[in-house]
Structure 1
Amino acid sequence: MQKIQNFINGKYVDPVKGEYIDNVEPATGKAFAQVPNSSIEDLELAIDAAQAAFPAWSTMSVDKRSRILHKLADLIEQNLDDYALMESRDNGKPLWLAKAVDIPRASTNFRFYASAIVNFSTEAQVSEGFMVNYTRRAPVGIVGCISPWNLPLYLFSWKIAPALAMGNCVIAKPSELTPMTAYLLGKLANEAEMPAGVLNILHGEGKGIGQAIVEHEATKAISFTGGTATGKIVGATASQQFKKVSLELGGKNPNIIFADCDLDEAVKTSVKSSFTNQGEICLCGSRILIEESIYEEFKRQFLEECEKLVVGDPMDPKTTTGALVSEAHLNKVDSYVQLAREEGGTILTGGKKLDREGFYYEPTVIEGLDENCRTNQEEIFGPVVTLNKFKSEEEAIEVANSTRYGLSCTIWTSNLQRAHRVAHAVQSGIIWVNCWLVRDLRTPFGGMKDSGIGREGGDEALRFFSEPQNICIKL
């Protein structure tokens, strides 16, 4: 069985204490590798390496940093098949999805920020004949980037790319459930001639090495994506040391279907926004709110499309829904479906584990639940959606805003005025109208309420990973 290693100071090294945890393949339920369970001793080695690398990396010309990041993007593209295969084994998602989305977007993240830093501008204010004020964006120093298991390399790269672009050194921790693509990235960083110590990758549990990264006085900023409960701990810990912190957390996203929508398009896209990546995307629309006059027709077509979904081996190109990431997560999803039954919900399709090797769950659709019940209020993060009716625009907005989350919302309508009106009223950081998961990396990304603080994407990410210095020169 393969034992992967930490990546510190440009080298692969074993964990100091020699402790490992099993890496289980979701499709089979069997361990196929072992992952370092890193300790504070490993973190100290990474801190030393990052501190030594920071002076040269932070003062390196923007053009040279840009070339290194572009080269890294090239290498990811060249290794797409290998990376996609490893991510599919690691995560349980269909191989075709990893090839089409996850790995290409990881490459795009590096390429976008490699280009962004050579076009990034700051402000200057001139008082004629008296003084000039200008703003310099200085790198923060050593930053901690902690990423989740659902989109392993995509979200991992989304954090480290802007951090590196701005001249910071990074200590990154991927999820212990899906470490493989992050592990492989160290080799490509060396091939791209990234200086040793600039990027360090530590593996292990969040409550262990993840918390240690957040607590360490040498890390000056923390970017975290994960669950809201863990995000509260990360935020509280970071605030005690006045660290910059960005938290992209959970969601319970509404998908609002008005009667004047393009029904065929709304149905097909809603199936994708419900069950892509086994529903393990923070942006999935897990609460589908349908105008009463089209409720039955939408439900009929939606269920017909759901019946076409194929749950199976991630390596099979016909598979649309792969395995959930772990047995514990499979049991969590199933427990919410049982809860929905107890709360009076009707299972329209799905609703059970598959009797086969691995961690598979049927795409599940539930109706008849009150908007305030736990199933409609708590994040399930799996292939489970609820259907609810609404009678008016005002009711749709009220129900959409009824949870403590505010990450994303999808609105389906052909009425342009309504689209703007509802988008402005819904308390979500990301609003899609007549589409879903369309992203422009120049725009800010993040949620409201318990879905997090801070913004990623575009200049927002570059500004997060830097500190403004106001410099005034008397003429």
Structure 2
Amino acid sequence: MTSKLSPFGAGAAYSRGIAFIDGQYVEATDAAVYDNINPATGEVIAQIEVADEVMVDRAVQAARKAGRGQWRLMSDDQRAEIMRRVAAGIEARFDDFLAAEMRDTGKPVSLASHLDIPRGAANFRVFADVMKHANESTTMTTPDGGRAINYSIRAPLGVIAVVCPWNLPLLLMTWKVAPALACGNTVVVKPSEETPSTALLLGEVMRDAGVPDGVYNVVNGFGGASTGEFLTNHPDVDGVTFTGETGTGEAIMRAAARGVRPVSFELGGKNAGLIFADCNIEAAIETTARSVFANAGQVCLQTERLYVQRPIFDQFVAGLKAKAEALKVGDPWDKSTTLGPLISQEHRNKVLSYYEAARQQGAETVTGGGIPDMEEALAGGSWIQPTLWTGLADDAKCVTEEIFGPCAHIRPFDDEEEAVALANNSPYGLASMTWTNDVSRAHRVASQLEAGTNWVNAWFLRDLRAPFGGSKRSGIGREGGTHSLEFYTELRNVCIKL
């Protein structure tokens, strides 16, 4: 295993994805490799090395050593200052991060430039001061009539395994890495095998910002029986944070049970939107189009189940159909492109299987349901049509299972009680969206919905200080602002008799 310089040039693609361990890019001469594919074109953009058990152990040991050294001993203010430099470093290399993210995901520049990269930098700034709100103290009377002071301290959890998804690679990775580092932990990141580039590029920014060697490490590879399993099973990993599908979360949870290690999970969703007849229907249609079709539906907070009060049902369906058909697929670098591809051919086949299942189960396809015609340069990409259905039963596959594509089923309802029951009729509980101009109804309905985040007359409106996470099969724990402290630190009590 040898070290090498950065695989990144100024805005240039890299030809080989390698690990970032202990402050260096490293490669193994005999490592297995796989093709990293641009989803928009189907072209191979890089060869990615799969980190074996030896390389994963090297990354974990580098993180453990760093966690016992300078990083842990820094003051909160010192760590916060370095994190601000990381944020500035991301912004200084905005074009490099944008190119890397777009090559990996195929998403339109209009989305990546306004969401993914800015939020990647913002996550470090938001969490830079998080530990300033961590301490508390109390006094007590002792059994002999004396007095004692109790105070709490938050110690870093240790080495955190950060296992990331492919849909918002930089945003969701930094959402975990930033609070972990703010609390004094060290990390080993396993990005999705589909989208490794920005995690690797961030290694350079970390190093240039003054993050000590070994604090931030990246290993590439697959999940089960590969890099991800080696990492989450490693006995020197002290906690695991993961965003992804529920089945993978269950497997990681079983691994984390050995050693009784804590986990923080944001898992699958089948999010509901409730559209009441008294809403601003134009605003509801406009926002719902984003909540269904943004990032080609590859957003954990996407709305896949829409329940519309009967008096406005036909008007809403027609309006959302028009929005779907106005979406433009095409070159991701064209600023007028509004719908990108799915992440891979494999994922497109999965989503198409749901399109077929909807037809077989009696759905009326309002729009879409297939593959769009693409120009020759993009014909090898994983493109799919935005799709809407009506007429499915409440227990139909496309109504109950997470699809993770640009699609939704729309069903009418009659009253508030029915709407809440329909929304809660799911094993998932990540997010919901309610549209109404009745303030009392807004509070009443939102408080009854079994989901971690419940928007009213909005979608994807995020305050990074607010608690974020899922209920039921959609996750464990809450992150965001000081809530992240509950996972990334261990709370200890000190009692001193006076």
Three-state SS of the structure 2 residue aligned to 1:389 is strand
Match of 1:63 among 70, 77, 80: 77
Judge which range, 191-200 or 238-247, deviates more: 238-247
Query: Shift of the alpha carbon at 1:120?
Result: 2.0
* 2:441 paired with 1:418: yes
Judge which range, 83-92 or 332-341, deviates more: 83-92
* Partner residue in 1 for 2:295: 277
Alignment of 1:437-456 (within 5 A): 437-456=460-479
- 1:357-386 deviation line (CA, Å, top 9, x unaligned): 211001101111111111100000011111
* Partner residue in 1 for 2:19: 6
* 2:140 paired with 1:127: yes
Q: Which residue identity is paired with 1:61? A: S
Alignment of 1:204-219 (within 5 A): 204-207=221-224, 208-219=226-237
> In the aligned structure 2, how far is the partner of 1:172 from the partner of 1:92?
22
> In the aligned structure 2, how far is the partner of 1:47 from the partner of 1:81?
31
- 1:241-296 deviation line (CA, Å, top 9, x unaligned): 21010110010000110000000000000001000000000001111110011101
Match of 1:161 among 153, 165, 178: 178
Which structure 1 residue ranges, 5 or more long, are not aligned? none
> In the aligned structure 1, how far is the partner of 2:28 from the partner of 2:80?
31
**Retained in 1: the 8 A contact 2:246–2:473?**
yes
Q: Which residue identity is paired with 1:105? A: R
Alignment of 1:340-359 (within 5 A): 340-355=358-373, 356-359=379-382
Query: Shift of the alpha carbon at 1:123?
Result: 1.5
* Partner residue in 1 for 2:326: 308
Query: Shift of the alpha carbon at 1:463?
Result: 2.4
Query: Shift of the alpha carbon at 1:458?
Result: 1.1
* Partner residue in 1 for 2:4: none
**Retained in 2: the 8 A contact 1:16–1:41?**
no
- 1:280-328 deviation line (CA, Å, top 9, x unaligned): 0000111111001110111111111222111122111111001110000
> In the aligned structure 2, how far is the partner of 1:400 from the partner of 1:181?
36
**Retained in 1: the 8 A contact 2:97–2:198?**
yes
Three-state SS of the structure 2 residue aligned to 1:219 is coil
- With normalisation by structure 1, the TM-score equals 0.98
- 1:363-421 deviation line (CA, Å, top 9, x unaligned): 10111111111110000001111110001111111110111100000000001111111
Three-state SS of the structure 2 residue aligned to 1:206 is coil
* Partner residue in 2 for 1:229: 247
Three-state SS of the structure 1 residue aligned to 2:303 is coil
> In the aligned structure 2, how far is the partner of 1:14 from the partner of 1:53?
21
* Partner residue in 2 for 1:50: 63
Q: Which residue identity is paired with 1:324? A: L
Judge which range, 143-152 or 460-469, deviates more: 460-469
**Retained in 2: the 8 A contact 1:137–1:466?**
yes
Alignment of 1:129-278 (within 5 A): 130-207=147-224, 208-278=226-296
**Retained in 1: the 8 A contact 2:105–2:343?**
yes
Query: Shift of the alpha carbon at 1:462?
Result: 2.1
* Partner residue in 2 for 1:109: 123
Q: Which residue identity is paired with 1:268? A: E
Query: Shift of the alpha carbon at 1:121?
Result: 2.7
Three-state SS of the structure 2 residue aligned to 1:13 is strand
Q: Which residue identity is paired with 1:55? A: R
Runs of 4+ displaced beyond 6 Å: none
Q: Which residue identity is paired with 2:425? A: S
> In the aligned structure 2, how far is the partner of 1:192 from the partner of 1:463?
27
> In the aligned structure 2, how far is the partner of 1:106 from the partner of 1:186?
14
* 2:77 paired with 1:77: no
**Retained in 1: the 8 A contact 2:31–2:52?**
no
Judge which range, 49-58 or 243-252, deviates more: 49-58
Three-state SS of the structure 1 residue aligned to 2:128 is helix
* Partner residue in 2 for 1:294: 312
Match of 1:19 among 9, 17, 32: 32
Alignment of 1:365-444 (within 5 A): 365-444=388-467
Three-state SS of the structure 2 residue aligned to 1:467 is strand
Three-state SS of the structure 2 residue aligned to 1:286 is strand
Q: Which residue identity is paired with 1:438? A: L
Identity value in percent? 43
| Aligned residue pair count | 474
**Retained in 2: the 8 A contact 1:314–1:322?**
yes
> In the aligned structure 1, how far is the partner of 2:303 from the partner of 2:351?
16
> In the aligned structure 2, how far is the partner of 1:464 from the partner of 1:17?
37
> In the aligned structure 2, how far is the partner of 1:121 from the partner of 1:253?
33
Match of 2:338 among 320, 329, 336: 320
Query: Shift of the alpha carbon at 1:95?
Result: 1.2
Three-state SS of the structure 2 residue aligned to 1:307 is helix
* Partner residue in 2 for 1:463: 486
Query: Shift of the alpha carbon at 1:54?
Result: 1.2
**Retained in 1: the 8 A contact 2:256–2:262?**
yes
> In the aligned structure 1, how far is the partner of 2:386 from the partner of 2:475?
28
> In the aligned structure 2, how far is the partner of 1:175 from the partner of 1:406?
24
Q: Which residue identity is paired with 1:171? A: V
> In the aligned structure 2, how far is the partner of 1:44 from the partner of 1:470?
33
- 1:22-66 deviation line (CA, Å, top 9, x unaligned): 100001112110111111100111122112211221111111111
**Retained in 1: the 8 A contact 2:134–2:153?**
no
> In the aligned structure 2, how far is the partner of 1:365 from the partner of 1:19?
41
**Retained in 2: the 8 A contact 1:341–1:347?**
yes
**Retained in 2: the 8 A contact 1:287–1:385?**
yes
> In the aligned structure 1, how far is the partner of 2:218 from the partner of 2:29?
14
**Retained in 1: the 8 A contact 2:163–2:190?**
yes
Three-state SS of the structure 1 residue aligned to 2:307 is strand
Query: Shift of the alpha carbon at 1:15?
Result: 3.5
* Partner residue in 1 for 2:11: none
> In the aligned structure 1, how far is the partner of 2:31 from the partner of 2:99?
28
> In the aligned structure 1, how far is the partner of 2:470 from the partner of 2:402?
14
Query: Shift of the alpha carbon at 1:16?
Result: 6.2
**Retained in 2: the 8 A contact 1:257–1:411?**
yes
**Retained in 2: the 8 A contact 1:15–1:37?**
no
**Retained in 2: the 8 A contact 1:16–1:39?**
no
